[in-house]
Amino acid sequence: MTETAITQEQFTLLMEKMDRIESHMAAQQRRQQEMEELQRDLIPIGNHMFKLAIEELAEIGSDFQAEDLFFLLKRVLRDTHLLTKLLDQLENAMELSEDMQVLGKQIFNQGVHELDRLEREGYFAFAREGWQIVERIVTEFSEEDVRALADNVVVILKTVRNMTQPEIMAIANQGVDAIREVPAEDENISAFKLVKEMGSPQVRRGMSRMLNLLKVMGETPNQ
């Protein structure tokens, strides 16, 4: 009874293996049939492509040799790592281009904001007025005037430096204030009063400076 049960179990396992083998063989047969069908479909296409390639290559004539094609294929296969590196560099360049586009937009927006600030603060208006001054200078002065200015620019700068000294500016301001002080219309300015003012120390110092100025102007030779 035990031997019969074991034999039945072995028979069941054997049948299961046979079923798996049969299924595997059926799958292989299906794949083989699919490959044969694909081959039957591709052969006409391949023949057509080969004929088309021959016709196209025939137009090239003697300029094309099969050895050139094989040489090109060997070069491509030999330099596959270079092509891969080139593709990597191209990919990096594309990523860099995208980053530059984002950065360029940021720079453009910042530039527009800065230009708007300069416009609101009046820099452009000041520049326009300054350009009008330059145009007037170009209109009023000739090349000889500019050349003479260049020859005497050091003297001019020294004169400006001397005239802008604190003591000179103080005298100039006091003189302007004195000119602005207009005497009253009903004030009687007699010759005696003028002679009396001559005795004032301030008047004497002022006259001394005027005399020194006249003396220096007289000593300066005519150009």
Instruction: Check residue 55 and give its pLDDT.
Output: 74
Mean pLDDT, rounded, for 153-170: 83
Q: How confident is the model at residue 59 (pLDDT cuts 50, 70, 90)?
A: low
DSSP result, the chain: -HHHHHHHHHHHHHHHHHHHHHHHHHHHHHHHHHHHHHHHHHHHHHHHHHHHHHHHHHHHGGG--HHHHHHHHHHHHHTHHHHHHHHHHHHHHHHHHHHHHHHHHHHHHHHHHHHHHHHHTTHHHHHHHHHHHHHHHHHH--HHHHHHHHHTHHHHHHHHHHHTSHHHHHHHHHHHHHHH-PPPTT----HHHHHHHHTSHHHHHHHHHHHHHHHHHHHSPP-
Band of residue 1 on the pLDDT scale cut at 50, 70, 90: very low
Among 9-13, 28-32, 85-89, 116-120, whose mean pLDDT is lowest?
A: 9-13
φ/ψ (deg, to 5) at 152: -110, 15
pLDDT of residue 223: 56
**Sign, CA torsion 135/139/141/144:** positive
Chain segment 4-21, per-residue pLDDT in tens: 445 777 778 888 888 888
Res 39: pLDDT: 78
Q: Which residue has the higher pLDDT, 89 or 186?
A: 89
Q: Which residue has the higher pLDDT, 197 or 160?
A: 160
| Residue-wise pLDDT tens digits, 95-143 | 888 888 888 888 888 888 998 988 889 888 899 898 888 888 888 888 8
- Please check whether residue 64 is in contact with residue 57, taking contact to mean a CB–CB distance below 8 angstroms: yes
Residue of higher predicted confidence among 67 and 31: 31
Instruction: For the chain, give every domain's residue range.
Output: 102-140, 143-181
pLDDT confidence tier of residue 57, bands split at 50, 70 and 90? low
Contact 124, 118 (CB under 8 A): yes
